[in-house]
Amino acid sequence: MNLRFCAPCHFGLEGLVADELRRLDMPGVAAENGRVRFEGTEEELAKACIWLRCAERVLVEVGSFTARTFDELFEGVKALPIEDYIPKNAAFPVKGHSIGSKLFSVSDCQSIIKKAMVTRLSQKYGISWFPEDGETMRVQFSIMDDVCTIYLDATGDGLHKRGYRPAHVGAPLSETLAAAMVILSRYRGRDDFCDPFCGSGTLPIEAALIAKNRAPGLDRGFAAEEWSCFDRGVWKKAREEAPSREYNGDYRIFASDIDPEAVQISKENAKRAGVDGCIEFSQADATKFDRKTERGVIVTNPPYGERLMEKRQAEALYTDFGKAYFALENWKLFLLSSHTEFERSFGGAADKKRKLYNGMIKCDLYMYLK
């Protein structure tokens, strides 16, 4: 069965997700704001879930239609072949969003979509009561500019949940954004890599996964694996094939933090990810960073300082780290910060900047390319 898919992502990462999908040989790849569409079969679905590093989810598109009124919304949903996916005993909770549309009440849209689906399934299955005690198939709707699209969430837990990070230090960086930062730095395992503010170790772990070309979703499950409408064998096949694409090499990945507890948590997370042998962890003060390299990249996410007192502390930290960085040779720097005065505090303007979002926090990725 040929299917249409959607991979939602953080704003600013659409191009990276599209590139990932093209490298996976997915057909019909098209980037839009906050999402990337593509096509394929169940095999492509399994491959995308297991391999995508920067996307947040993979959704199966059921159908799309114009809906400017609640009647149009009800009739549009009722006309979709949802029985091709949802069995008579499935639980199918509904949630979604509306942007720039006449139908702006999300709760009303949610209840109407659920009612329309029940009406359609009642007619198709000849039953009036749905126990919803079987498999769970989460329904998502998106209403944008009066166009409603109905999806099934194939992922379950977001793709950022790789399974290696049950413990956190402070406000962690998501795994998907960390992977994006590593990819934007063009680190591929050949140069030295360092994160002197490693926190819970997300950046160096994602760097190691990228260097080894290990599928980030290899060791976790996905909602669609439990759906009876799809062949579960394709997931088994995708998992069996993934290790054959891995690389083995000697990687120079260094991670440090001034907090010894953070270093210990990072080590445990790296072990869970199966890359502890690729990363050298240490307790160190980033403001005294002086590691030598012939060619290396620092990718890091220091404290932002969202509150006033923390903001002043962050500025002092940026100033001291800037002095250490500008005394180095051969290190490029990719640093994420939401601080609007970062460059002034750091002591020099970035060669390039790229807007990214860490959760709901608007940030810049500052790139120093000396």
* 138-150 pLDDT, tens digit each: 999 999 999 999 9
Top pLDDT among 128 and 110 is at: 110
> What is d(CA 320, CA 212) in angstroms, rounded to the nearest whole number?
34
Domains for the chain: give ranges and CATH numbers: 3-153 (3.30.2130.30), 175-215+248-368 (3.40.50.150)
* 68-81 pLDDT, tens digit each: 999 999 999 999 99
**Both tokens assigned to 132:** 């919803």
Average pLDDT over residues 211-234: 95
> What is d(CA 209, CA 266) in angstroms, rounded to the nearest whole number?
14
pLDDT at position 277 over 80: yes
Backbone angles phi, psi at 205, to 5 degrees: -65, -45
**Both tokens assigned to 194:** 């360092």
Top pLDDT among 308 and 155 is at: 155
Residue 170: predicted pLDDT: 61
> What is d(CA 35, CA 30) in angstroms, rounded to the nearest whole number?
9
Q: What is the pTM of this model?
A: 0.94
> What is d(CA 194, CA 178) in angstroms, rounded to the nearest whole number?
13
> What is d(CA 163, CA 351) in angstroms, rounded to the nearest whole number?
35
pLDDT at position 168 over 80: no
HSE-CB of 308 using CA atoms within 13 angstroms: 0
Query: Does residue 326 contact residue 287 with C-beta atoms inside 8 Å?
Result: no
When the pLDDT of each residue in the chain is averaged and rounded to a whole number, the result is 94
* 17-27 pLDDT, tens digit each: 999 999 999 99
* 299-358 pLDDT, tens digit each: 999 986 555 557 788 899 999 999 999 999 999 999 999 998 999 999 999 999 999 998
Q: What stretch of H or E contains 6?
A: strand 3-8
Residues 6+ positions from 17 with CB-CB distance below 8 Å:
7, 9, 31, 36, 52, 54, 55
> What is d(CA 290, CA 329) in angstroms, rounded to the nearest whole number?
9
pLDDT at position 166 over 90: no
* 240-267 pLDDT, tens digit each: 999 999 999 999 999 999 999 999 999 9
> What is d(CA 367, CA 353) in angstroms, rounded to the nearest whole number?
6
